[in-house]
Amino acid sequence: MRIKAKYAHTNLVARDWKRLVEFYVSVFGCEPVPPERKISGQWLDDATGVANAEIEGMHLRLPGFGDDGPTLEIFQYNQQKEPQETAANRPGFGHIAFAVDDVQAARDAVLAAGGTNVGKIVTTEIPDAGEITFVYLADPEGNIIELQKWSR
C-alpha cells in the first residue's frame, strides 16, 4: 500500500547543537524556525526508546524552498553514544547535499567555518544527466556534506 506523504525534515543528532546551528545558518543561509526545543518526559522515552531522554535543539529551514520547505532538525540528547568515524560508505544516512553556484567558493566557506575535507573536488559526466562538479566535506561534527553544481 502506498501512502500519501510530503517530506518534512531530516534529524541530525549533534554533540553541540548550538555550534551546528550556527554553522548551517552562517555557511548555507538556513533560517531558524522557532521555537527552540527543550523536551523530555515519558512520552519522549516511549517514542525514542531512550530512557530518561532530554533533547535540546531547533529546526532550520533549508534554503531554496520558501517558508513551507523542509527543515534540518538539529537536536542534542542529554545521553550520547560514541560517534562513528566519518566515512562516505558508512551504512545509514550518508550525507546532506546543497546545490551551489561555485563549488570551490562553497568549499572554502565550509572549511573556514570549521568543516573538514573528506574528498577532492571532481567534475564528471553522468550519462543522460549532464556534467556534475561536486565535493564531499564534513561539518564541524563530522557529518558529511556534498556541495554540487550541475551543468546540463
Of 134, 130, 132, 138, whose CA–CA distance to 147 is shortest?
134
* Alpha-carbon distances of 75 from 5, 15, 31, 52, 125, rounded to whole Å: 23, 9, 15, 15, 37
Mean pLDDT of 27-32: 97
User: How far is the C-alpha of 43 from the C-alpha of 111, rounded, in Å?
Assistant: 39
Radius of gyration (C-alpha) of the chain in whole angstroms: 17
What is the pLDDT, as a whole number, of residue 40? 95
- What pLDDT is stored for residue 5 in this prediction? 85
List, as own/partner pairs, every contact residues 119-128 make where C-beta atoms lie below 8 angstroms and the sequence separation is at least 24, other chains included.
119/88
What are the tens digits of pLDDT across the range 54-78?
999 999 999 999 998 999 999 999 9
pLDDT recorded at residue 19: 97
Question: pLDDT value at position 93?
Answer: 81
Task: Answer whether residue 92 shows pLDDT above 90.
Answer: no
Burial 113-152 (b: 16+ CB within 10 A, else e): ebbeebeeeeeeeeeeeeebbbbbbbbbbebbbbbebeee
Q: Is the pLDDT of residue 32 over 90?
A: yes
Edge-to-edge strand ranges of the sheet holding 9-13: 9-13, 71-77, 54-61, 31-40
